[in-house]
Structure 1
Amino acid sequence: MITIKELAKMIGVSPTTVSNVIRGKTNEVSQQTIEKVQKVLKEVNYIPNMTAINLAKNSSNVIGYVMNAKGIIQDNAVQDFFTGELIGALEMEIRKAGYYMMIYISDDIDEIIKFVSSWNVDGLIALGFNHDNAQKLREVYQKPLVFIDGHFYDDGNEYNNVGLEDYKGAYEMTNYLIECGHKRMGFLANNYIGINNERYRGFKEAIKNAGLPEEAGEKFFIEKSGEGIKRCMDELMKRISDFSALFFISDNCAVVAMDYLMDNGIRIPEDISVVGYDDAAVASLVRPKLTTVRQNPTQKARVAFAKLMKLINDPNEKAENIILPISLCIRQSVKNFN
């Protein structure tokens, strides 16, 4: 591989000038010289030694992303519609800013923390962490850190987090079902902690505030994986006539369940209504189109990365808990009894 000294001799400038152009330190280099150096770099297909450059800058130029996948239905977490869009948007923002992305996904929090403690990254974005796990992560990772969808109780510590109006979204969707005349609804989730608990809390509170009896809303547990959704539906089918609507914790769960219901002769929304949460792309592709709570994973990724960059560039940047808005997306999967 050609060296900087050899390049400098070819171009007729000093090695320092070539090095400065490669590293983007061009304040004291003329535009004519910059163009001359860049032209030769392109001609010889020069690939800079990023490790050496980063050591000189005291920076890795890498942004880490870790995810606790314990709350994800799929065995492959990236297959989840929300997670896939979020990671894709993060990668794009990180690349546009001139950084590289390092990813680690596991449902073992101790394993995640072990890997993070050995990483040399300039900043970290973490998804799927509860309060205790977030504390563990902060103990081993002292650099800029932003959580996504963290629900942390007040312990006197400040967290950088980008979340959603999870409670409000579930409350408004449940209220919409009640306004459509639904009086017996099921809520289906793979766990009832963190954001899932906030959504379930909104579901129950809407039922209570509407003056309906507590049994008007019943919760069900979905096991991990698509097969887990089907096993849950197998049990629910024994009592399907008890309910007029089913509220799924995510669109991913909702569309799998819709497929199951229709395969078993249950019409949507004529026999039972179905709603989801997220407004993933698939929600408008299934038939009937899915009524859901809309959030914007791409926006969530952009906001989280923007906050991380502020923390990297300014050690005095204040901690924030940024809550993004929701809206209802009314489509065709809910029957109106009125």
Structure 2
Amino acid sequence: MHSIKDIAKLAKVSPSTVANVIHGRRDRVSGETFEKVRRILEEQRYVSNMGARLMASRGSCLIALVLAYQNERRTSIVQDPFVSSVIAAVETEVQRKGYFLMLYSNPDMEECRKMALAWNVEGVIVLGCKRQGYYTLREQLDVPIVTIDTCFQEEDRDFVNVGLCDYEGGKEMTSYLLQRGHRRIGFLSREEGRDHFDPQFIDSARYLGYLAAYEEWGQRPEECWALDLSRNPKRRREQFMKLQQKNFFGCTALFLTSDLLALEFLGFCRDRGISVPDELSIAGFDGIREGERYRPALTTVCQDMREKGTRAVRELLRLLRREKERELPRRDIRLPVCIMERETVEDCGGNPYFGEEPGPSKKSAFA
């Protein structure tokens, strides 16, 4: 990594001139010199090494937690109950091990690279990034990286990921609903425009579990029961309306791939006078506390969110102890899930609220 003196030597100017360019002091540098130094800074991919001030005999002691979600909401992603639970667990374990935590929210891996270099972090935990984002970051950083909830492929190597038994969770919940007598079960995710079988999405694994449960029961769900909802709340509300207009395709239960989405849909049902679970059963995925507090309390697939964060820190520190080993093992850790029975699912008695069930249809509710 280049220092200010290195850049000054390349530009044939003084270090103070380079510092003025870095801080945007155009009034102290001629236009021609400013542009020349700026160009060299970009070519050398220079970032200010603020972390150097933190260096001690054992390093900076900084661990970065990167939130790489594409957040389309106006509120901070930190307010998401799942994300906040993981952050709390990471912070607790990092401090317990004598390190400091830097929280950084940005899906742009180039900006994440700059942050990691600027602060001289000793390791990075990335929550919510795609596999390509991980490999892009790993190629550019010489520190250990652990991902949380990144979907890797069978041929991938050199990664450590802490994930969930998503396939098993999708299968267990669908089997549970089938056992309760539901034969027409809708599957709703929040990944509009994706291929249901695209391996880079967690919901794809849950969908495969949904299909596997049906197969075990010797049945086959209709394609139109699997719906990908928009990430835009206003657009999603319109999709809920259209889904109701289609009589939910006669489905007696809906399995939504996150508790937040399930709680949002429960609010829609309340506003529209749809009684849950009397007229429609609802199930979620995650096990956030808000689902337990809601009325009716949400039946869901539970995961240990705090264990996810704690395990990620322990795996990162394990890599730090082995940092001289350049080859990383393939380590895809899958934490268990369980069904939490509450109040939004009951035994199936048909779909009386919506009258006669529609005949088989392959047309999407959102077509």
Residue 200 of structure 1 is matched in structure 2 by 207
Does structure 1 conserve the Cα–Cα contact (< 8 Å) formed by 2:66 and 2:103? yes
Does structure 1 conserve the Cα–Cα contact (< 8 Å) formed by 2:299 and 2:341? yes
Q: Which runs of 5 or more residues in structure 1 are unaligned?
A: 1-49
Matches of 2:73 and 2:187, distance apart in 1: 16
Residue 337 of structure 2 is matched in structure 1 by 326
User: How big is each residue's C-alpha offset from its partner over 1:160-198, in whole Å with a ceiling of 9 and x where there is no partner?
Assistant: 111110000010100111111111121111125421111
Matches of 2:258 and 2:73, distance apart in 1: 10
Confirm or deny that 1:314 pairs with 2:325. Answer: no
Gap change, CA 1:316 and 1:59, over 3 Å in 2 = closer
Residue 128 of structure 2 is matched in structure 1 by 128
Does structure 2 conserve the Cα–Cα contact (< 8 Å) formed by 1:207 and 1:216? no
Normalising by the residue count of structure 2, what TM-score does the alignment of the two structures yield? 0.72
Count of residues in Structure 1 that have an aligned counterpart in Structure 2: 289
Q: 1:134-153, aligned counterparts within 5 Å?
A: 134-153=134-153
Gap change, CA 1:95 and 1:226, over 3 Å in 2 = farther
Confirm or deny that 1:336 pairs with 2:347. Answer: yes
Normalising by the residue count of structure 1, what TM-score does the alignment of the two structures yield? 0.78
Does structure 1 conserve the Cα–Cα contact (< 8 Å) formed by 2:65 and 2:104? yes
Residue 56 of structure 1 is matched in structure 2 by 56
Does structure 2 conserve the Cα–Cα contact (< 8 Å) formed by 1:226 and 1:256? no
Gap change, CA 1:166 and 1:91, over 3 Å in 2 = same
Helix, strand or coil at the partner of 2:150: coil
User: How big is each residue's C-alpha offset from its partner over 1:23-75, in whole Å with a ceiling of 9 and x where there is no partner?
Assistant: xxxxxxxxxxxxxxxxxxxxxxxxxxx97884231511110011221278775
2:296 to 288, 295, 304: 288
* Per-residue deviation, 1:328: 0.8
* Per-residue deviation, 1:244: 0.7
Matches of 2:129 and 2:280, distance apart in 1: 34
Matches of 1:284 and 1:201, distance apart in 2: 27
Gap change, CA 1:270 and 1:132, over 3 Å in 2 = same
Paired AA for residue 175 in structure 1: S
Q: Which runs of 5 or more residues in structure 2 are unaligned?
A: 1-49, 195-199, 350-367
Confirm or deny that 1:278 pairs with 2:289. Answer: no
Indicate the percent of aligned positions where both proteins have the same amino acid: 32
Deviates more, 1:130-139 or 1:316-325: 316-325
What is the root-mean-square deviation of aligned Cα atoms in Å?
2.4
Residue 266 of structure 1 is matched in structure 2 by 274
Gap change, CA 1:301 and 1:167, over 3 Å in 2 = same
Residue 308 of structure 2 is matched in structure 1 by 300
User: How big is each residue's C-alpha offset from its partner over 1:133-175, in whole Å with a ceiling of 9 and x where there is no partner?
Assistant: 2211111122111111121113352211111100000101001
Matches of 2:171 and 2:289, distance apart in 1: 23
Does structure 2 conserve the Cα–Cα contact (< 8 Å) formed by 1:275 and 1:334? yes
Paired AA for residue 79 in structure 1: Q
Deviates more, 1:295-304 or 1:94-103: 94-103
Matches of 1:152 and 1:202, distance apart in 2: 17
Deviates more, 1:109-118 or 1:299-308: 109-118
2:228 to 221, 224, 230: 221
